[in-house]
Amino acid sequence: MNNNDAATPAESEVLNHTSNVELALNVIDFEIERIESEQSRPGWTLWAVYGTIASLLWLLGNEYEKGHVDIFNVAQLLLVLWIVRDVVHYSTRQLVPVRHRPYPSPKRFVPATAHFSPSEMFFYWIRFVALFFLSLLLMSKIKWFFSVPLLLFYGLMSLFVAISLMVATYYDPLVITKHVPQKRIADNRKIVITWCLITISILISAIAHLNYLSRYPDLVSLSDLRSAGLLLVLFTILPKAFESEKNKPILGSLTEIRRDLAFGRLSPESGLRNADIAIRGLLIEEKLQEELRAALCLFERFEVEYDRVSTEVKVFMKELPTRAEEITAEQRAKARTVMLAAHKSFDSFLKQSDEIEKMTKSLRIHSTSAREVAPKEAIASSEAISRIDAGLADLGKKAEALWKELEPTLQKLGNAKQ
């Protein structure tokens, strides 16, 4: 064998590292290309969506220019079309069993915005609110009890989407479990019966509206029907313009991970692990442990800092003379310094306390949602939250007691100044 052909151990290590880096880069490149190709799949590119919206608006404008469009007829037809669309959409989405067997993998936590972007949820909320008020506006066209199912359905959907939007906007990154269910709600007989009752009741409402329109066939024009159909398609396509927003954080994270890998700031193993977390989310056990450690560490630092400040204040109180006239100018200056430091520290304590409460609130939400998947970690998190809450309450009582002890000293210092 030639000496030039034989690689030294150091050279072999470099070659292995380089090949691992190339492998990690190839994996990340594949995931970036996959996400980008899903965003730009035929028929749903961003420019195609914008072009479709512009075309629909132009067609709607043409219909209104003809002057044969009745707004109330269009509203009633649009309501009927939306009812049929929602019944078909939600029935096929929830009641059809899953045909494929999903790849078995541990459940994970992912950001709520990974499923729907806030802008997309906002448009869904606008749609449900509009349909609710549309049902309310057209209530006089049919008997009132036919409108009740529509008001209940679209009212509850508006409330649900509004809550989801607020949670995703103000508590982001709120994380939820993401998994592919083995079966949908079609296997739960009670839910199926409930959904069938809802479906039948809102379909009866749609039939009542159609019955009203059929009484006056001469007043309903083809332009009314075309306008209602165009509006249905328009409001269905509008959320598509914002679907790509939910993938932006993932693409940004993958790009940064790839850059760190290429410049040697990240090992191949860490790069692949970070990419896996960015794409699929963090394992539930790891997420709970991470939040638990962060909350406990912050509370311990808070507790130690409070004990230090309270000890300094108590020591200074003991050093002061009993009588106000015996307090010297130097002691008054030191008192001012100590009180200012204590005031700043207590302001910091209030901010830290708010931060701890936010962390425990997040941990409480996550541990509750993970109780069935990771019961041990969920129980440990609940116990830690109870300890932190009890500790904060105890520190609050100590602070009140310290302030009561401090009041005579402050009064004494005030008399000394006079």
d(CA 212, CA 214): 6
CA atoms within 13 A on the CB side of 334: 12
Please count the other Cβ atoms lying within 10 Å of the Cβ belonging to residue 356: 20
- Name the one residue in this structure whose structure tokens are 């709520």: 112
d(CA 75, CA 192): 30
Smallest Cα–Cα separation from 110: which of 286, 289, 277, 291?
Answer: 277
- Name the one residue in this structure whose structure tokens are 């940004």: 252
**H or E element in which residue 368 lies:** helix 329-369
d(CA 408, CA 418): 15
d(CA 411, CA 286): 52
* Four-residue CA torsion sign, 172, 173, 174, 180: positive
Beta bridge partners of 175: 111
How many H helices and E strands in the chain? 12, 3
Q: Residue 183 has what pLDDT? A: 46
Taking CA 213 as the corner, what is the angle to CA 212 and CA 219, rounded to the nearest 5 degrees?
135
Q: Residue 273 has what pLDDT? A: 82
Smallest Cα–Cα separation from 127: which of 93, 161, 90?
Answer: 161
Q: What is the DSSP letter of 42?
A: T
Smallest Cα–Cα separation from 30: which of 292, 275, 295, 219?
Answer: 275
The letter for the amino acid at 141 is: K
CA distances from 199 to 95, 134, 180 (A): 12, 19, 25
* Four-residue CA torsion sign, 358, 360, 363, 369: negative
d(CA 1, CA 285): 52
CA distances from 204 to 10, 83, 150, 211 (A): 78, 10, 10, 10
Asked whether the beta carbons of 77 and 228 are under 8 A apart, the reply is yes
d(CA 369, CA 183): 19
Q: What is the DSSP letter of 320?
A: S
pLDDT along the chain (418 residues), means of 10: 54 70 85 76 67 85 80 88 84 59 62 67 86 89 86 89 76 48 53 79 88 81 87 84 70 85 84 81 75 82 82 77 71 76 76 80 74 75 83 81 75 64
d(CA 331, CA 413): 9
CA distances from 352 to 267, 300, 310, 328, 360 (A): 35, 11, 16, 36, 12
Phi then psi dihedrals of residue 34, to 5 deg: -65, -45
Beta bridge partners of 314: none
Q: Which letter, b or e, does each residue of 283-322 get, where b requires 16 or more Cβ atoms within 10 Å of its Cβ?
A: bbbebbeebbeebeebbeebeeebeebbeebeebbeebee
Smallest Cα–Cα separation from 110: which of 164, 170, 172, 162?
Answer: 172
